[in-house]
Amino acid sequence: MHPMDQKRPMPGRCPVCGEKMDVVRLHCPRCDTSIEGHFQLSRLCGLTQEQRDFVEIFLKSRGNIKEVERELGISYPTVRSRLEAVIEALGYRVDTAAPEEERPQADRRKEILEALNRGEITAQEAVRLLKKL
């Protein structure tokens, strides 16, 4: 296969500045038709690759958090935090009245830091979650 025939995943964000990318050209490989213009990307295209991978596993597991925990080898709070990060990245408000919010703040802080230490969440996700406490 020629290297130019190989399909690459479409970047949703600019690798230079991080802004959302615009699609300006579409091409049909069967009939060689091309269309140029400004086309709207799906909200899912704006997610990071890690978030898209999480969404794929979440959907494959039919939203069963226990299955997601098993497949990714992460804890329930980490699955919840990743799910909330995806929901926020898609532009939706996250319900802050979730049952985990009823636990003592020190417990939640410790859990977040432990998840960060195990590499289950990024430093950026940890900061975001700690600021919510």
Question: Against a cut of 0.95, is the pTM above it?
Answer: no
Residue 81: alpha-carbon gap to chain centroid:
11
Reply yes or no on whether the pLDDT at 58 is more than 70.
Answer: yes
Residue 40, phi then psi, degrees to nearest 5: -85, 130
33: in domain? no
38: in domain? no
16-27 pLDDT, tens per residue? 898 877 888 989
Residues in the chain: 133
55: in domain? yes
Considering the chain, what percentage of its residues have pLDDT values greater than 70? Answer: 89
The DSSP secondary-structure symbol of 3 reads G
72: in domain? yes
97/13 Cα distance (integer angstroms): 31
2: in domain? no
For the chain, give me the number of helices (H) and strands (E)?
Answer: 5, 2
29: in domain? no
Domain count, the chain: 1
> Domain range holding 74?
45-132
3: in domain? no
99-114 pLDDT, tens per residue? 554 557 777 888 888 8
CATH of the domain at 128: 1.10.10
